[in-house]
Chains A and B, each alone.
Chain A
Amino acid sequence: MSDLSQALSVALDLVLTLDPQMLGIVRLSVQVSGLAVLLAGLIGLPLGAVLALSAFPGRGAVVVMLNAFMGLPPVVVGLGVYLLLSRAGPLGEAGLLFTPTAMVMAQTLLVLPIVAALARQVVADLWEEYGEQLRSLGVSGVGRLVTLLWDGRFSLLTAILAGFGRAAAEVGAVMIVGGNIKGVTRTMTTTIALETSKGDLPLAMGLGLILIALVTLVNAGVFLMGQWARRRMG
């Protein structure tokens, strides 16, 4: 219990004093995970919708794979991106290893299957309801995709949130491709891992509490927004 209360006081201390180093770390975490989710959404939402609305041979296999990839081990994704971006790797000349960009790339790959798989489910369910009407109106393929994604926007927010939660919480991928460089690629999770390995458990746990609070805050915000919008739009 004393460990936890100590962690709590460390967390409060960091927040209340607006520790500049901590602010930088929080900012980077939010920036990296936020951008990763944005990219994953831009790719994953249409991809999921296409999978829900089109029929092609092997579609079932793609869906199974997508669902399985929701649980991709972050370390493996990190390693894959590392091998790509390493100077000895195929994209080495871009010099992106150990940069926030590399971290965004790795997290995008982690989040993409979650967003796409959940989007596919949402759009497929909506199609059950809307299918006849949209076909009756003569809505074309792309039109269906856009219409269903827009009408599923409240449910899709949940998919996006799930993706954000995973990105913000993972440490394996960003550790490998970011290198946990102080002031450059050090995020909340890699800091927690570092402080744990230094045996400074209260500080590590304190940072963990801040991370949890942050993710909770984002979720609460989106939840309230969704509630309000749902009440308005039916």
Chain B
Amino acid sequence: MKRLLLAAMALFSLAVAPAGAEERFITLASTTSTEQSGLFGHLLPAFKAETGIEVRVVAVGTGQALKLGERGDADALLVHDRAGEDKFVAEGFGIDRRDVMYNDFVVVGPASDPAGIKGGKDAVAAFAKIAVAKAPFASRGDDSGTHRSELRLWKKAEVDVKAGGGWYRELGAGMGPTLNTAAGMNAYALADRGTWASFKNRQSLAILVEGDRALFNPYGSILVNPEKHKAVKVADAKAWHLWLTGPKGQAAIASFKIDGEQLFFGDAK
């Protein structure tokens, strides 16, 4: 029965597949922030021109990206949550984690700035002020890398966001939707610089705090462990992994700019 079903599906997919479909590809699970910044539009054509391998990006939160890797639905990951990445590798789902690049987070908020954090260089202090002022804060709330970083900042500021009070709003949304919502309700938010730079619907939002070491946002590349899932395209995924962390990939990352501003900084060793 199952065999029959599989055969039927294979036949059927022939009918659906666009003519001349690219056969050689890998699936990369990555984050909405990298996708929405436009970085992949810059990197992937260069990689394909060189190797002939198409990289299909499924952009989700880091939490979900790790889950996709765990189930074998991706061949490689490019994510940003060091603790989560290490756990992923330690549990045997991934191999060969490498540093790729970093960008940074920025604290954005309404121009009226009710918590008075503008111009500060200390993100933790700014978060504490927001909590004291009970000013609205829009949180991703989606277990993404950005969300996990945000929670670490609250912890350092010794603020218990679970205590409630109405000012802390968990949206359960990607970076873009969270910024849309923050703009709509004049809330503060933590955003990655890449998404912010390419985000168009800012309304009164502006960068209020930036440049703190605590806002450092490193990305890692991980190969999904082929021993867990036979179907993983290990050779092509490895080609991508090495290219990205090699000199060509690093140069491509450095040359990606929005309005003349470099967004990601390669730091592969």
Contacts and interface: CB of A to CB of B under 8 A. Distances in A.
Physical contact A–B (CB less than 8 Å) = yes
A181 interface: yes
Given A98-B58, A101-B9, A184-B56, A197 B73 contact: no
A196 interface: yes
Interface residues of B, number: 40
A198 B231 contact: no
Given A86-B73, A87-B71, A100-B17, A199 B9 contact: no
Contact of A201 (B16, B56, B70, B201): B201
Interface in B6-63: 6, 9-10, 12-13, 15-18, 27, 32, 36, 40-41, 56-59
B247 interface: no
Nearest to A103: B16
A95 B201 CA distance: 38
Interface residues of A, number: 34
B176 interface: yes
| Interface of A: prevailing SS | loop
B202 interface: yes
Contact of A31 (B10, B16, B71, B73): B16
A88 B36 contact: no
Contact of A199 (B16, B70, B73, B176): B176
A66 interface: no
Contacts of B255: none
B266 interface: no
A200 interface: yes
A198 B198 contact: yes
B72 interface: yes
Given A94-B9, A98-B56, A197 B71 contact: no
Interface in A175-190: 179-182, 184
A91 B231 CA distance: 12
Interface string B162-189: 0000000000011111011001000000
A58 interface: no
Interface string A28-71: 10011001000000000000000000000000000000000000
A173 B231 CA distance: 24
Contact of A97 (B73, B174, B200): B73
A35 B231 contact: no
A104 B57 CA distance: 20
B176 A96 contact: no
Nearest to A83: B71
Contact of A198 (B56, B71, B173, B200): B200
Contact of B201 (A32, A97, A199): A199
Contact of B9 (A28, A32, A88, A91): A91
A90 interface: yes
Contacts, number: 99
B269 interface: no
Contact of A35 (B9, B16, B57, B183): B16
A87 B229 contact: yes
B18 A100 contact: yes
B56 A86 contact: no
B216 interface: no
Contact of B200 (A88, A90, A94, A199): A199
Contacts of A200: 200-201
A103 B70 CA distance: 22
B72 A196 contact: no
A221 interface: no
Interface string A157-188: 00000000000000000000001111010000
Nearest to B196: A199
A13 interface: no
Interface string A82-112: 0000111111111111111100110000000
Nearest to A197: B176
Nearest to A89: B71
A92 B9 CA distance: 12
B72 A87 contact: yes
Nearest to B198: A198
Given A35-B15, A198-B195, A198-B198, 7 more contacts: A87-B73, A92-B231, A94-B6, A95-B231, A101-B17, A194-B36, A199-B179
Interface of A: 28, 31-32, 35, 86-101, 104-105, 179-182, 184, 194, 196-201
21 contacts: A87-B72, A87-B73, A87-B231, A88-B70, A89-B71, A90-B2, A91-B2, A91-B9, A94-B6, A96-B9, A96-B13, A180-B58, A180-B59, A196-B176, A197-B36, A197-B174, A197-B177, A197-B180, A198-B195, A199-B200, A199-B201
